[in-house]
């Protein structure tokens, strides 16, 4: 198995892309610690994956909670081989000038500041294991997106962070990469789609923005993340890996 006995900490791991990654990591032999603020979903995920893995309620934008969670993982497993910074929020959907200060700060705190926190507190363990970091970015970091300026700004920041962190931590043998999906069917996207006046039209649009012809489930992102975490990617660092069915070549609509 590609990830046998590796200890992987994943934020936002209780649903969506995060939980698909959790299942893929476990399938490849990893021990996984899920950090998530959604207690109900966290409990549900832990009920499915079993007690050999660790579920920690954690607001990743809160320094004390991240510090305590990393310490708990180390106490439980004795090591950390990977931090997957996956937690993120996308709201609000509005232009920049309509975004409130509180909305801006929430996006920056959850999507970007959390990466600073996990890195700060997990770095000594990653130095010891010569581990890796994976950040969940998005295609919109490169392409932009109407009515999502604050969100796209956080994803652009993640790309820049990924490259700079890769340079900083290469000396320790730590690899840092990011995965950049386009559209992905998650519970959040399905809920949003169901609320639209033309649900069928929205689904057709989401299929058509991907040149390969369909909007994927989160498992395709998880497979890419397994590769980035594994020794198969041992000479890959500073990479922003697009997993968008060709959407990075330009949306067809």
Could you tell me if 185 and 19 are in contact, meaning their C-beta atoms sit under 8 angstroms apart? no
Residues whose CB is less than 8 angstroms from the CB of residue 80 and which lie 6 or more positions away in sequence, other chains included = 7, 9, 70, 73, 74, 122, 125, 126, 129, 131
Distance CA 78, CA 173 (A): 19
Concatenated DSSP letters for 95-161? -GGGS-HHHHHHHHIIIIIHHHHHHHHHHHHHHHHT-EEEEE--THHHH--TTBHHHHHHHHHHHHH
Supply the residues annotated as catalytic.
151
Is 172 exposed, middle or buried (CB count within 10 Å of its CB: 0-12, 13-18, 19+)? middle
How is 175-211 classified by DSSP, letter by letter?
Answer: EEEEEEESS-B-HHHHHHHHTSTTHHHHHHHHHHTST
Spatial distance between the Cα atoms of 230 and 105, rounded to a whole number of angstroms: 34
d(CA 82, CA 107): 24
Cα dihedral sign, 34-89-137-113? negative
């Amino acid at each position: 198995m590609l990830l046998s006995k590796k200890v992987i900490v994943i934020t936002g791991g209780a649903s969506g892309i995060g939980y698909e990654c959790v299942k893929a990591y476990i399938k490849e032999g990893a021990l996984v610690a899920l950090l998530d603020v959604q207690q109900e979903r966290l409990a549900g995920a832990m009920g499915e994956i079993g007690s050999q893995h660790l579920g920690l309620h954690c607001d990743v934008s809160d320094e004390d909670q991240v510090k305590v969670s990393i310490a708990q993982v180390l106490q439980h497993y004795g090591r950390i081989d990977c931090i997957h910074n996956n937690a993120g929020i996308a709201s609000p959907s509005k232009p920049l000038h309509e975004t409130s200060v509180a909305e801006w700060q929430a996006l920056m705190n959850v999507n970007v500041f959390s990466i600073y926190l996990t890195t700060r507190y997990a770095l000594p363990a990653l130095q010891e294991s010569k581990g890796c970091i994976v950040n969940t970015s998005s295609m919109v970091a490169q392409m932009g997106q109407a009515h999502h300026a604050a969100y796209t700004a956080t994803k652009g920041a993640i790309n820049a962070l990924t490259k700079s962190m890769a340079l900083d931590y290469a000396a320790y043998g730590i690899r840092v990469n990011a995965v950049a999906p386009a559209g992905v069917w998650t519970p959040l996207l399905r809920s949003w789609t169901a609320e639209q006046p033309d649900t069928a039209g929205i689904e057709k649009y989401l299929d058509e923005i991907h040149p390969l012809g369909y909007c994927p489930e989160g498992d395709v992102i998880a497979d890419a993340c397994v590769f980035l975490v594994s020794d198969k990617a041992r000479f890959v660092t500073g990479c922003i890996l697009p997993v968008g069915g060709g959407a990075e070549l330009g949306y067809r609509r």
